[in-house]
Chains A and B, each alone.
Chain A
């Protein structure tokens, strides 16, 4: 019988806004779509995701938000504070933000001044928790108990060799560092 030890609560809330057009948010956990919704324009929509997900095994895991829309506007955003997985936080800023290359971004990349290019870089690399462009927001983490995490990391992914920090989520929340633990009442 397969173990359920990798089945755990996953929670977040976020708000999303577009001033003039419909837009869509999809949320994928380990490639599986757990949330999909169209949103109407001109309203700040608050979304709460409170699920129990079976990650099935100890390994590198991924959460992705894919925010899409047909019409660009300067006045839109997706705000997210953090993910909470098994009562351990994965802060918004620990993401990889891959905005769709719209006309604005393309123009800066091709014709922008050095200052504009620097601002663009900062918005992508250090977006914090406010995402202003359509695109993908990806969080990666390593799931397991301490020994499983250690063994998973022995595989030495390109990210590890380059030096990027990995984020562990422990199946026993007591193994997490104090500052990664989040109280059950979010």
Chain B
């Protein structure tokens, strides 16, 4: 199928989404777990995640978002994937298309992920990107990483480390691109991005050391749902409104809910990791939606409808909605929102 909306067009995370890639479960990976009890346990988690995917597909259908899904490469016990610094018994579960692929402007970028087990992940998406390429999108890859662990110092990659970055480190807002302070995007990666995409102006969000989608979401021009204080943002955000996520406090055993808890009380929060369908509809994790009604009310007071998505396995997989759904085409353009 060739559709005009199956072109990469991404300059933000809030204008109407017309196409996306949603992750897929590689069920054959369950064979890797030898202990039958642990295998059954993991199977339950995967089934729960599959339920999340199905709900997400329903929401996309309702909003007429075209969805593609990766083709998982089945586990083959006869095969090993060997690299000079590591080897893998199988190719990584393709549940997070947003980690490995950066959709920016009119280009799909296969990133040089900091996660070595993402090394072969791109193979599970070739059919999708072939079609996007045929439709006129640009398709590039960052230099293939060596993953030599000696590049890793106590906290971060050394300044001289090879180009390494994950796609959710790059958050475009029109002609502005926001980047984290470090860890999942290093110095060379920043320079590489600036040279590949000179049309953007780049800024760092102070104190952020991970995927930016778990620090904040830009809900629409002028409004951010954030776990990061406004002071950490560039000065150009001074006039924007910030909705701060409620920080979950760790409480005594007797009153902790049986639901999955969030113990991130000082820094990143998966709570904020939702997905904007457009400037009026924001998909949130259902347990966040239930447990943080004040945040929901604040968001809704700006004319944004919060759509709950059952995703209780988010902590087990350490993934949010924006991780499992990668917007490939939004209607936004290279404009100045400031």
Please give the residue numbers on chain A whose beta carbons come within 8 Å of chain B beta carbons, in ascending order: 14-15, 79-82, 89, 91-94, 96, 98, 121-130, 145-147, 150-151, 154-156, 158-165, 172, 175, 177-179
Contact = CB atoms under 8 A, between A and B. Distances in A.
Given A96-B41, A125-B312, A125-B313, A179 B267 contact: yes
B149 interface: yes
Given A15-B253, A125-B312, A179-B264, A161 B42 contact: no
B256 A154 contact: no
Interface residues of B, number: 55
B265 interface: yes
Contacts of A98: 37-38, 41
B154 A128 contact: no
Contacts of A175: 154-155
Given A146-B154, A156-B88, A179 B263 contact: yes
A125 B46 CA distance: 11
Main secondary structure of the interface of B (DSSP, over half): loop
B337 interface: no
Given A165-B318, A179-B264, A128 B256 contact: yes
Interface string B157-180: 000000000000000000000000
A28 B36 CA distance: 21
Contacts of B32: 158, 161-162
B116 interface: yes
Main secondary structure of the interface of A (DSSP, over half): mixed
B199 interface: no
Contacts of A146: 152-155
B90 interface: yes
A163 to B, nearest CB: 4
Contacts of A163: 92-93, 95-96, 317, 319
A128 B261 CA distance: 7
22 contacts: A14-B253, A79-B254, A81-B252, A92-B256, A96-B41, A122-B258, A124-B44, A128-B260, A129-B256, A130-B256, A146-B152, A146-B155, A147-B150, A155-B86, A160-B92, A161-B88, A162-B42, A163-B319, A164-B45, A165-B318, A177-B267, A179-B265
